[in-house]
Structure 1
Amino acid sequence: MRAIACLAVVVIHSVNITLTNYEHTVSQFEEYFLIAVRFAAFFGTPAFVFISELLLARSYPNKVPHGFFLKRVKYLLFPFVFMGLVFAFITTDSLTGFIRESLFNVFLGGYTGYFILIIFQFYILHVFLHKFLKNWSPVKVILVSLIINVVYLSFFNFTEPLAIPLGEYIWQRGHWLPFVGWIFYFVLGYYCGKNYESLKELVIKYKKIIILFPMINLIIMFVLVRSDILPVVSSKRIDNLFYTSSVIGAIILFSLYVKKVPHFILLISKYSFNIYLLHTFFLFYLPPIDFLNPLVYFIFAVAFSMFCSYTVAKLASPFQITQFLIGKPIPIPKHTKTQNNRG
């Protein structure tokens, strides 16, 4: 799931750079196809929130270990800050602009690494709430969290920016940062991690529905966009709550039938955080290539940005300091297998 979510995030930004670089030459079919691919990949960042909490709930059912926050500050927050400074440097041409953009990136999540600020909020929530969550009714808590999430996103999806300082920014992307906008994925991840064995049985029991749901939800999303009922172009759409949940269910179902995890999936998973932080850096410098049509260019952009990110992370891994700058690869067992637990 981590590997697929990582790939989805890269796909979204590769679509963006393709549409930007081929703005005047892309055909209507190519444009619509790329936009459809981007919408299909919107589950990426929300899935990371889900994965993070699922792993916490499974690994630390009672309490987080000593040094939990220090470790994550070193290997998540430090790289987030460093890459925020890097993106400020490459996107500005003056000291004043660099300082302003750096503060914007680090404190307001002004670049693609904003996800780290959200994850840290949920680390704190997990520490304070897990004692209560484990005693509450999963169905009721999941339903309440869904309602809260829907109401919160509805406000920003269906209203115009208020005439307040940073109003345009808050409506455009500032509302992404508070944990309320992701609370459903957090709660869902907690209970799925806490009851993972039961979850697998449930997924197998309703496998026919789970296979169909992602496509049904994606079609609904397309209809709402094309009809201008919900023209928001981001993963913070109301309908993405249901779409992401269905994709997560489908990935879990698929994983139960995989005997051995493919090597390339293990590689993407291992370097997922490095790829997440670095891929937009390489996309930033990727120029249009005249002899490639937009669809081929898009595929090339995905492969190019992922390969460059992986290569940099791989070459830098022997140097310990780089773990605090571009992230630390995630250790994986040499012979990782996903067993078929259908009983």
Structure 2
Amino acid sequence: MGRPIINEAYWLRAISCLAVAVTHCVNTTLGNYEESIPQLEEYFLIVIRFIAFFGTPTFIFISELLLAHSYPNKLPQDFFIKRVKFLLIPFIFIGLVFAILVSNSLKDILYEWLINLFLGGYHGYFILIIFQFYILHAALHKYMVKWPAKKVLLIAFFINAIYLSIFNFTEPIAGKVGEYFWLRGYWVPFLGWLFYFVLGFYCGRHFKLLKAHIEQQKYMMYILPFLFISVICILTRSHILDVVSSKRVDMLFYTVSVIFFIILVTMNRVKVPKFIYIISKYSFNIYLLHKILLYFLKPIGYLNPVIYFIFSFIYSVLGAVIIAKALGYFSFSKFLIGKTIPIPKEDGVQKS
């Protein structure tokens, strides 16, 4: 489209991808060492998990940031067709894989598969959210470019915050449906992520202006992530808000602060390191595959839990990249585990 590449997006995507893997590796470690983990190591891993919870919401932001930046006027005609083929079909396939892994009969497989596809039963629920925002972008783009950004951002923030607060601070409606929806079903509707979408839209359209504002407030940008994660830890320890997920209302503040922090520390780098390009390239594959690898990872009794966590992280991320690279030789693999993301041939040339 002739628009300059946002190099910072490679950093955001790679770091967010690794953050998602970190949260699941912590969960695996805590689950495998549930009976024997020392308290100090347990607290350390729990804090690491909270620090990494920005990963999934940042993906929402990145998706809309790049959409608004790359297509400032309208979406291409084949936009939805491509995303159905390379996002939705892999989501359906990996949902089936997880259903098979946790089931003992054909009936159970079908039940779990339907839960995965429509109720966010596995970590790929992110794709369902993204598609809702693709539809919202197509429907609201021509209006959002005219509406005052500050007002839209404020309204979106309050809608998002109120929605999350309902599920953070109230008891589930009686019954299995209510319990499931309060547990994880509320993750899927777009209202729980609306602010990240709106923020991504306006940041994508005005990225140079965003960077100028971040530069002006750089000292605050260095402080805010540490301030907000401290608040999250205090609220959790005091049991004021003890939800353990990225769907906490206070994550709205923390995630945005981390996004701006990453942009700040990367926006003056001329070159993107090869490692960041590689993780960014395989980020969707890592997102889909790493938890399958973790499913087969058993406890290793003689390893300290923190060392086990580090091992599980390297094993799941590296394993996912190796699988994606190996399957990449087959043209059909993009329909199973998604496409890799293109990276520029030269660094820094098209930086916005």
TM class by shorter-chain length? over 0.9
**Secondary structure at the counterpart of residue 310 of structure 1:** helix
CA deviation after TM superposition for structure 1 residue 337, in Å: 2.8
2:98 partner letter: F
Matches within 5 A, 1:95-134: 95-134=106-145
Distance in 2, matches of 1:295 and 1:47, equals 26
Q: Which runs of 5+ in 1 are unaligned?
A: none
**RMSD over aligned Cα atoms:** 1.1
CA contact (8 A) 1:258 1:338 kept: no
> Is 1:143 aligned to residue 186 of structure 2?
no
Q: What 5-or-longer segments of structure 2 have no aligned partner? A: 1-11
Q: Match for residue 249 of structure 1? A: 260
Q: Which residue of 2 aligns with 1:39?
A: 50
Q: Does structure 1 conserve the Cα–Cα contact (< 8 Å) formed by 2:293 and 2:316?
A: yes
Which range moved further: 244-253 or 258-267?
A: 258-267
Alpha-carbon separation, structure 2, partners of 1:36 and 1:165: 31
- For 1:167, the equivalent position in structure 2 comes to 178
Give, in angstroms, the shift of residue 257 of structure 1.
2.5
TM-score (norm 2): 0.95
- Tell me what 1:267 maps to: 278
Answer yes or no: is the 8 Å Cα contact 2:16–2:54 preserved in 1: yes
Letter in 1 for 2:194: I
* Kept after mapping to 2: 8 A contact 1:11/1:41: yes
Mapping of 1:74-223 within 5 angstroms? Answer: 74-223=85-234
Distance 1:115 1:338 in 2: 32
Displacement of 1:165: 4.8
Match of 1:28 in 2: 39
Query: Which amino acid is 2:45 matched to?
Result: L
What is the CA distance between 1:340 and its match in structure 2? 8.7
Letter in 2 for 1:218: I
2:6 corresponds in structure 1 to none
Code of the residue aligned with 1:198 in structure 2: it is L
Question: 1:35-69 CA distances to partner (integer Å, 9 max, x unpaired)?
Answer: 00000001000000000000000001110001100
Of stretches 275-284 and 286-295 in structure 1, the one that deviates more from structure 2 is 286-295
Name the CA distance, whole Å, in 1 between partners of 2:56 and 2:271. 25
Task: Give me the whole-angstrom Cα distance separating, in 2, the residues matched to 1:103 and 1:312.
Answer: 26
CA apart distance, 1:215: 0.3
| 8 Å contact from structure 2 (residues 282, 340) kept in 1 | yes
- Rounded to whole Å, the distance in 2 between the matches of 1:14 and 1:72 is 28
**Distance in 2 between the 1:26 and 1:240 partners?**
27
Q: Please report how far the alpha carbon of residue 338 of structure 1 lies from its aligned counterpart in structure 2 after TM superposition.
A: 8.0
Aligned pair count reads 341
Q: Is the CA contact (8 Å cut-off) linking 1:214 and 1:250 kept in structure 2?
A: yes
Q: Say which SS state the counterpart of residue 269 (structure 2) adopts.
A: coil
Q: 1:79, 1:255 → 2: CA distance? A: 31
Give the counterpart letter for 1:294 in structure 2. P
Aligned amino acid, residue 291 of structure 2: T
Q: Distance in 1 between matches of 2:289 and 2:103?
A: 18
Structure 2 residue 349 is matched with structure 1 residue 319: no
Q: Give the one of 14, 26, 39 matched to 1:15.
A: 26
Q: Structure 1 stretches (4+) deviating beyond 3 angstroms?
A: 338-341
Structure 1 residue 259, shift from structure 2 partner? 2.2
2:89 and 2:28 mapped to 1: Cα distance? 27
Indicate if the aligned counterparts of 1:14 and 1:302 stay in contact, CA closer than 8 A.
Answer: yes
Separation in 2 of the partners of 1:281 and 1:155?
A: 32
For residues 264 and 338 of structure 1, the distance between their equivalents in structure 2, rounded to whole angstroms, comes to 18
C-alpha offsets along residues 81-107 of structure 1, whole Å, 9 cap, x if unaligned?
A: 000000000111111111100111111
1:309 aligns with 2:329: no
Of the two structures, which has the highest relative contact order with CA contacts closer than 8 Å and spacing of 6 or more? Answer: 2
- Superposed, which structure 2 residues align to 1:278-317 within 5 Å? 278-317=289-328
Q: Is the 8 A contact 1:80 1:116 kept in 2?
A: yes
Partner amino acid for 2:301? D
2-side partners of 1:102 and 1:339: how far apart? 43
Determine the C-alpha separation between the residues in 1 that align with 2:26 and 2:200: 28
CA contact (8 A) 2:270 2:347 kept: no
CA deviations on 1:273-327 (whole Å, 9 max, x unpaired) are 0000000000000011122100000001110000110000001112110100011
2:347 and 2:166 map into 1 onto residues whose CA distance is 43
Distance 2:309 2:328 in 1: 28
